[in-house]
Amino acid sequence: MNIILLGPPGAGKGTQAQRLVEARGMTQLSTGDMLREAKTSGTEMGQKVAEVMAKGHLVTDEIVIGLIREKLEAGGNGFIFDGFPRTLPQADALNELLADMGQSLDAVIEMRVDKDEVLVQRVVNRAAEAVAAGKEPRADDTAEAMQERLFVYYKQTSPLLGYYYAKGMLQGVEGLGTMDEVAAEIAGILDA
Ligand code: AMP
């Protein structure tokens, strides 16, 4: 089973993906995590990407599709796409990559949080928790970068909701609930 977790920044995609990894042995493919790794690699590409990410803008389709292609070509199934696709060309590319492997998508789960102030508060809290734990917070987990990330989400990524709705694949969960409530709703969809 391959699924996409779709939703605005701060909706809880990463948290729920992690839960599915633990509960079902699925494989999380987070382009955000892959890009942050590229940043620490210290290459010129990594540096450029880090600047784009810090502003809350999207990295090019070419780069993220390349990252996903590499992971998929390593084989396997039971993928959770977390933070990918974020544009219509990425969505088309994902269909093709999966088709090449004789696989397809089973569900696209929209994590709905329709209160921007909650999303901003969640990432600001995440940054504070990172600092409290002695870790470096994400450069884009600030109230300013979140304004841009939300704008980019509504403009470039939310059209995917219509795209997957038209394909009959879109299902929604209420993302404002507790982690357990959201996890239970997702489990209900996957077990249906
Ligand atoms: P995330 O960890 O999913 O919040 O992603 C953090 C940042 O990485 C985003 O704000 C973008 O700058 C970049 N990024 C992650 N995934 C993608 C993607 N699929 N397409 C373009 N940029 C991405």
In the 3-class helix/strand/coil scheme, how is 99-141 assigned residue by residue? HHCCCCCCEEEEEECCCHHHHHHHHHHHHHHHHHCCCCCCCCC
CB-defined site of ligand 1, < 6 Å: 9, 31-32, 35, 52-53, 56-59, 64, 83-86, 90, 140, 149
Ligand 1 atom 12, closest CA: 53
pLDDT value, residue 46: 87
Residue of 4, 5, 45, 58 with the most ligand 1 atoms within 8 Å of its CB, for mutation: 58
Counting from 1 in the atom list of ligand 1, the atom nearest the Cα of 87 is 20
**Average pLDDT value for residue range 53-82:** 96
Ligand 1 atom 19, closest CA: 84
Q: Which two tokens stand for residue 79?
A: 């993928």
Is 123 a residue whose pLDDT tops 90? yes
What kind and span of H or E run contains 27?
strand 27-30
Predicted confidence (pLDDT) per residue in 80-101, tens digit: 999 999 999 999 999 999 999 9
pLDDT value, residue 44: 86
Counting from 1 in the atom list of ligand 1, the atom nearest the Cα of 33 is 2
- State the catalytic residue, choosing from 39, 149, 155, 167: 149
The amino acid at 184: A
Counting from 1 in the atom list of ligand 1, the atom nearest the Cα of 57 is 12
Whether 19 sits among the annotated catalytic residues: the reply is no
Ligand 1 atom 11, closest CA: 58
pLDDT value, residue 38: 85
Band (70; pLDDT cuts 50, 70, 90): very high
Distance from the alpha carbon of residue 35 to the mean position of ligand 1, in angstroms: 8
Distance from the alpha carbon of residue 159 to the mean position of ligand 1, in angstroms: 16
Residues 142/124, Cβ–Cβ less than 8 Å: yes
